[in-house]
Structure 1
Amino acid sequence: MLPLTPWRIEMAKAPLIFSYYIAAPVEKVWNGFVSKEANQTIFMGADFEADLRPGGAMTWSGPGKDGKPMRYVTGEVLRVEPPKLFEYKFGMGDGAVMSRVKVELTPETEAVKVVVTNDGFDEDDPAYAQNADGWPRILSRLKTLLETGKTFRPH
């Protein structure tokens, strides 16, 4: 008789899916996701660096509470198909568990449909709640920036 071995079913959270319409050309919306300047505005001054090739590194960094430089978010580029698809994985800080983000841009008559899917969370991942709260803020700031040229403080 074979010995019984314990097993565990890995539970995953449902994906976070956000859909917005931005009244701007698709190239401008694309740049809102990938440019250093837009990311600095949306993420309140964070320095954004990205190698926009599959396997390329992504970081958002700036001063920590003690004033010393720190990386807030790290990631890796998975797929890039300008100006319609940007896929990457990211985590909050060095060594964090990473989730996947897929940004899909579809030009329509007078706007671009933006669908952001964030998935790959474990059942007990605390980043799930943070991202569920954070994405609407980020996307609202991006929409406002691209449509008006300015944005707002998130809280």
Structure 2
Amino acid sequence: MTDGISRFVYATYIRTTPEQLWAALTQPEFTKQYWFGVTLETDWKAGSPWKMVLPDGLVTDEGEVAECDPPRRLALRWRHLWRPELAAEGEAFCVIELEPVEGAVKLTINHSIPHPGAKLIEAVGGGWPRILSNLKSLLETGQVVLKSKPAG
């Protein structure tokens, strides 16, 4: 991290099509199934606002759709709102890339923030693997692996 940026990068391979994975990432009725009831509310157009909404209506994160190129790439300006110590670190950037590979799709998440040692990156480093494990399992088997989100 000599560039002063904290990053979390995660890749997984999911036996599905880019179109099915894109739909799973962007349709609220689908995200609720693997993201512990969370929905992402937006129209998925570059420049549009987005927000992450818990089942009780609490908005935990928000930002702007920086880029939307279905079914290949989604980039989000990301502001955490819920935990004050994470919100204080400022705006993060999350890039989601889909790449067809041998009958599957490589899904890569690159979540970064220009803040060395960022607690936000530590938090997303615990959340993204749980969310993406559920997404992979749901698309491949019809069932999620984990029923509850981590504490905090």
TM-score scaled by length of structure 2: 0.83
* Residue of structure 2 in register with 1:148 after alignment: 141
* Residue of structure 2 in register with 1:24 after alignment: 16
Output the CA distance in 1 between the equivalents of 2:101 and 2:117. 38
Stretches of structure 1 lacking an aligned partner (at least 5 in a row):
1-9
Do structure 1's residue 105 and structure 2's residue 98 form an aligned pair? yes
Identity %: 26
Tell me if the contact between 1:51 and 1:77 (Cα under 8 Å) persists in the aligned partners: no
Output the CA distance in 1 between the equivalents of 2:91 and 2:31. 19
Instruction: Indicate the SS of the match to 1:116.
Output: strand
Shift in Å at residue 46 of structure 1? 2.3
State the AA in 1 paired with 2:62: T
State the AA in 1 paired with 2:131: I
Output the CA distance in 1 between the equivalents of 2:55 and 2:17. 33
TM-score scaled by length of structure 1: 0.81
Output the CA distance in 2 between the equivalents of 1:144 and 1:131. 20
* Residue of structure 2 in register with 1:71 after alignment: 59
CA RMSD of the aligned region, Å? 2.2
Structure number, greater radius of gyration: 1
Tell me if the contact between 2:113 and 2:121 (Cα under 8 Å) persists in the aligned partners: no
Stretches of structure 2 lacking an aligned partner (at least 5 in a row):
none
After TM superposition, which residue ranges in structure 1, 4 or more long, deviate above 6 angstroms?
none
